[in-house]
Amino acid sequence: MTRTRRAGIVCAIALLAGALMNCGGSSSSSTAAPPPPPSVSLAGVWTATDTRSTTYHVLVLPTSFTFRSLDSNMLQGSGKFTLSGSTLGGTITVFPTAALISIGYPVQQGTISGTGSASAITDTITLDAGTATTSLTPDTPNNRTVQLSALAGTYAADAANTASSAGGNLTLAADGSLTGSDPGGTLAGTFQQVAPGVNAFNVAITYTPAGAAPKAYAGLAFYRPGTGPSIVLMTDNGTGQLAGIFTKVP
């Protein structure tokens, strides 16, 4: 794998994060100064497109400082952040696609740092593969109030839009129960809205490969309600991912 490709993989995980605490005091009797409070809320859906025409989808939860990222090459990032003033810092886990895993590309742990405001996030991601900086802006059309029941329906993704490169389908009920399949097996699970009206969903999935033991996945999803509504699904099981962009079937 070339260094250019590896740098592209790093860029694929444009994400956010938290700040280092300011450690104050020069004597044992002093008290550490508290960090400044966050200057903005970074909760919501963010997006970016780089010079290679790779698009990034990033979801930040409103209270837990957890985030997920999926790019148009189906590389996924997962992590957690804190925010001190406008300064970002934190950690990230990068999950490669099934195709990359097959040629020996591992799950990677890395760090993130940068700055954030209501209109932009600039973050630097450092992995074994290298370091890259990405700029994100709010994904305004998808930062809207939604109800879980509005997502009910059947969704499908082709090979290019799933991390397994196998395609697949999902059927989501109004109560959040989920079923689906791909050429390799079947799945069942749940969607649970993180807070009323918020376009962010906790996802739990059990995937059962044909002739093999079930595997449990967990993560996040968000809804894109525009023309050709779709769900951006981002889950992992620690060693691999189950993810994709699934478009609603008319």
Domain borders along the chain are 3-22+36-141, 144-248
Number of other CB atoms surrounding residue 194 within 10 Å: 17
Collect all residues with Cβ–Cβ distance below 8 Å to 137 and sequence separation of at least 6. Answer: 46, 47, 48, 119, 120, 121
Measured distance CA(177)–CA(28) in Å, rounded: 55
Question: Looking at the chain, how many residues does it have?
Answer: 250
pLDDT at residue number 52: 80
The tens digit of pLDDT for each residue in 113-143 reads 999 999 999 999 999 888 988 899 999 999 9
Measured distance CA(45)–CA(28) in Å, rounded: 44
Answer whether residue 14 shows pLDDT above 60.
no
**Torsional class of 10: left (φ above 0), alpha (ψ -120 to 50), beta (otherwise):** alpha
Collect all residues with Cβ–Cβ distance below 8 Å to 109 and sequence separation of at least 6. Answer: 91, 92, 93, 94, 127
Given pLDDT bands bounded at 50, 70 and 90, which one contains residue 231?
Answer: very high
Q: Class of 144-248 per CATH?
A: mainly beta
pTM of the predicted model, to two decimals? 0.86
Mean pLDDT, all residues of the chain: 87
Q: Which long-range contacts (CB under 8 A, 24 or more apart) does 97-100 make?
A: 97/73, 97/163, 97/164, 97/165, 97/241, 98/163, 98/164, 98/165, 98/166, 98/240, 99/165, 100/9
Specify the higher pLDDT residue, 33 or 154: 154
pLDDT at residue number 153: 98
Residues above pLDDT 70, as percent of the chain: 84
In the numeric block, which tokens belong to residue 57? 């989808």
Mean pLDDT over residues 38-46, rounded? 83
pLDDT at residue number 81: 87
Answer whether residue 37 shows pLDDT above 80.
no
pLDDT at residue number 233: 99
Answer whether residue 16 shows pLDDT above 80.
no
In the numeric block, which tokens belong to residue 18? 């938290």
Measured distance CA(199)–CA(3) in Å, rounded: 36
pLDDT at residue number 3: 43
